[in-house]
């Protein structure tokens, strides 16, 4: 969890009430935040990852002020139109496709304020922005910028500017090797032929997200009063939330918020600080908490946590990124109600925890294969549709993720063998033989509560100059004999395997596995020069037959 250092004097001024050190030690943890230490000058707190809006004096003070009843309820922020535009070119579509922007005016910058802004940026970059991969933030002095601003992508060798705190102009590509920040985040642009940039109407480069601002146009000083703020990334909803966290913090510093018109294919206006509306299910709240709290008490708890309440609906602040489901409201109600007020009781049931039988079965299978000298590997459930189908000459239907951040992890796998071939591909420089296995979950669409059927699969690959059907069948024979299972194999066709060297394994009339020598074309797709023999066994279905 990120640790934030807060100026106690600034914090108390924002809260609107002065508290003793003992009172702060008592009440801050009640808000759901870990207090590390507090003295006359500083407050050190650990902020939970689900509350990035609290990663500043302004954000935490806003929540704390409402919690202790000084400024209770939804805090409203006024947004005026700036009349300015930002043009988003189509060239950024495959690079870093979205940005959300705003203007904030009338801030009295000093050394302390600049430190606060830097801390907000850094902490949001690390947490909510996933180290700038999910979202990157830029803050610029408005007096140095001429509108309209353009967000575009270009060959980094053709764009030159002086990066922040650098003494010379560099191309976008040179920044990745010559500037410290460029070296730290170069991996985010790996493989791209074009980088994203912001420029103003005079063609001055503002920044190269997610790496660095320009030194000339992107550096805040104590003479700055008005700022341009942008967030760039891959999900417009995420960026709008991130922008809301920043501009509300700047507004609490004394600034006035102004919106910008963003010219995508369709016009967008940011920021939007209107609260989201979520219906309050009072019976659901009491059922989940095991309480009998009145509607008025529940409403009071929500207001204590900074929500508005209107017509049995909760008005969720625009800077809250963690309220996705009614249970999130329940959690905040429990915090406001006070965990110390709940009476612990012993349930009137008696159960004994034990390991699932299929887990014992998986452990036994794993131990048997390790005994044969095979190495167990762990692989991700998330993968790419390319790996699951194209690389394997297959035509399955993996479950796709909504709003996947990249093409490398955009589906849930429906078989495990491609994951093992990917492991072999990443170990091309290692000695052979490479005989490995993996046990993992696969996912298929099915008419269930979740719409997804989950099953456990075992995949085994033998990779060496003499790997063949006979050797992989010997592994299967040993495994089935040790778990006392009789099976049959019939010849079938499967594009991933060599024709005539592939079989379908069945147990008690149920097909549970494919076994064979992997197709040379598949091996070529994975850049594998050694033969590979493999099988994939459905452990869930086999276990049910047992």
**In-domain check, residue 346:** no
Regarding whether 387 and 324 lie in a shared domain, the answer is no
**In-domain check, residue 73:** no
Contacts of 481 (CB under 8 A, 6+ apart): none
pLDDT of 194 over the 90 cut: yes
**In-domain check, residue 351:** no
Regarding whether 394 and 465 lie in a shared domain, the answer is yes
**In-domain check, residue 226:** yes
Give 70-94 pLDDT, tens digit per residue. 999 999 999 999 999 999 999 999 9
CATH number for position 141: 3.50.40.10
Domain boundary among 224, 255, 270: 270
Helical residues (DSSP H) of 290-339, grouped into ranges: 295-304, 326-337
Regarding whether 519 and 405 lie in a shared domain, the answer is yes
Domain count along the chain: 4
- The answer to whether the CB of 383 falls within 8 A of the CB of 392 is no
Give 465-508 pLDDT, tens digit per residue. 999 999 999 999 999 999 999 999 999 999 999 999 999 999 99
Q: Give the mean pLDDT of 519-543.
A: 95
Give 153-176 pLDDT, tens digit per residue. 999 999 999 999 999 999 999 999
Regarding whether 499 and 391 lie in a shared domain, the answer is yes
State the pLDDT confidence band at 47, using cuts at 50, 70 and 90.
confident
**In-domain check, residue 250:** yes
Q: How far apart are CA 233 and CA 302, in angstroms?
A: 32
Regarding whether 165 and 126 lie in a shared domain, the answer is yes
- The answer to whether the CB of 251 falls within 8 A of the CB of 77 is yes
Domain boundary among 22, 44, 67: 67
Regarding whether 266 and 288 lie in a shared domain, the answer is no
State the pLDDT confidence band at 524, using cuts at 50, 70 and 90.
very high
Domain boundary among 270, 292, 317: 270
State residue 261 phi and psi, 5-degree precision.
Answer: -95, 125
Regarding whether 228 and 372 lie in a shared domain, the answer is no
Give 207-237 pLDDT, tens digit per residue. 999 999 999 998 999 999 999 999 999 999 9
**In-domain check, residue 347:** no
Domain enclosing residue 290, as ranges: 276-338
Regarding whether 402 and 293 lie in a shared domain, the answer is no
User: What is the model's pLDDT at position 1?
Assistant: 67
3-class DSSP state for residue 72? coil
CATH number for position 18: 3.30.56.10
pLDDT of 350 over the 80 cut: no
Query: What proportion of the chain, given as a percentage, has pLDDT over 90?
Result: 81
User: What is the model's pLDDT at position 302?
Assistant: 97
Regarding whether 309 and 206 lie in a shared domain, the answer is no
State the pLDDT confidence band at 49, using cuts at 50, 70 and 90.
confident
User: What is the model's pLDDT at position 34?
Assistant: 86
Contacts of 277 (CB under 8 A, 6+ apart): 313, 314, 315, 316
CATH number for position 449: 3.30.930.10
Regarding whether 297 and 397 lie in a shared domain, the answer is no
**In-domain check, residue 352:** no
Regarding whether 313 and 382 lie in a shared domain, the answer is no
**In-domain check, residue 241:** yes
User: What is the model's pLDDT at position 346?
Assistant: 82
Q: Give the mean pLDDT of 340-361.
A: 86
User: What is the model's pLDDT at position 183?
Assistant: 95
pLDDT of 458 over the 70 cut: yes
Regarding whether 314 and 255 lie in a shared domain, the answer is no
């Amino acid at each position: 969890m990120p640790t934030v250092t807060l100026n106690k004097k600034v914090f108390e001024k924002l809260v609107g009430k002065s508290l003793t050190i003992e009172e702060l030690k008592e009440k801050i943890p009640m808000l759901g935040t870990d207090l590390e230490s507090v003295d006359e000058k500083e407050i050190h707190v650990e902020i939970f990852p689900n509350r990035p809006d609290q990663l500043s004096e302004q954000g935490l003070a806003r929540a704390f002020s409402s919690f202790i009843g000084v400024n209770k309820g939804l805090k409203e922020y006024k947004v005026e139109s700036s009349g300015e535009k930002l043009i988003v070119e189509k060239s950024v579509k495959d690079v870093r496709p979205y940005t959300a922007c705003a203007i904030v005016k009338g801030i009295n910058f000093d050394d302390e304020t600049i430190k606060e802004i830097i801390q907000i940026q850094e902490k949001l970059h690390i947490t909510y922005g996933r180290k700038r991969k999910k979202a990157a933030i830029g803050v610029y002095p408005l007096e140095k910028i001429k509108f309209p601003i353009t967000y575009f992508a270009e060959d980094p060798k053709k764009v030159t500017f002086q990066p922040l705190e650098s003494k010379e102009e560099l191309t976008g590509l040179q920044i990745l090797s010559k500037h410290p920040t460029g070296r730290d985040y170069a991996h985010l642009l790996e493989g791209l032929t074009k980088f994203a940039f912001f420029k103003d109407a005079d063609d001055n480069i503002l920044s190269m997200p997610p790496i660095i601002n320009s030194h000339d146009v992107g550096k805040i000083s104590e003479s700055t009063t008005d700022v341009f703020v942008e967030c760039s990334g891959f999900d417009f909803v995420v960026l709008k939330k991130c922008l809301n966290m920043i501009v509300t913090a700047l507004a609490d510093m004394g600034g006035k918020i102004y919106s910008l018109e963003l010219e995508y294919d369709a016009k967008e206006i940011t920021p939007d600080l209107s609260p989201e509306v979520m219906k309050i299910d009072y019976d659901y709240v009491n059922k989940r908490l095991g309480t009998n709290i009145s509607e008025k008490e529940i409403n009071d708890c929500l207001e204590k946590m900074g929500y508005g309440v209107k017509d049995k609906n909760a008005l969720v602040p625009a800077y809250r990124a963690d309220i996705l489901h009614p249970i999130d409201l329940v959690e905040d109600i429990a915090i406001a109600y006070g965990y110390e007020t709940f009476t612990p009781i012993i349930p009137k049931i008696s159960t004994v925890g034990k390991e699932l039988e299929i887990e014992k079965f998986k452990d036994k299978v794993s131990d048997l294969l390790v005994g044969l000298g095979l190495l167990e590997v762990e692989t991700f459930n998330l993968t790419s549709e390319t790996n699951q189908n194209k690389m394997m000459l297959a035509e399955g239907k993996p479950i796709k993720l909504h709003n996947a951040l990249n093409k490398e992890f955009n589906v849930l796998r429906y078989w495990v063998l491609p994951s093992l071939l990917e492991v072999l591909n990443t170990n091309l420089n290692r000695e052979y033989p490479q005989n490995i296995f993996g046990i993992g979950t696969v996912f298929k669409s099915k008419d269930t509560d979740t719409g997804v059927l989950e099953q456990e699969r075992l995949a085994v690959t033998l990779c060496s100059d003499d790997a063949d059907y006979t050797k992989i069948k010997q592994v299967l024979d040993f495994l089935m004999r040790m778990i006392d299972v009789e099976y049959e194999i019939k010849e079938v066709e499967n594009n991933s395997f060599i024709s005539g060297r592939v079989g379908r394994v069945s147990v008690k009339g149920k097909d549970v596995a494919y076994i064979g020598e992997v197709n040379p074309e598949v091996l070529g797709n994975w850049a594998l020069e050694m033969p590979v023999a493999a099988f994939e066994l459905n452990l869930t279905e086999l276990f049910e037959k047992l």
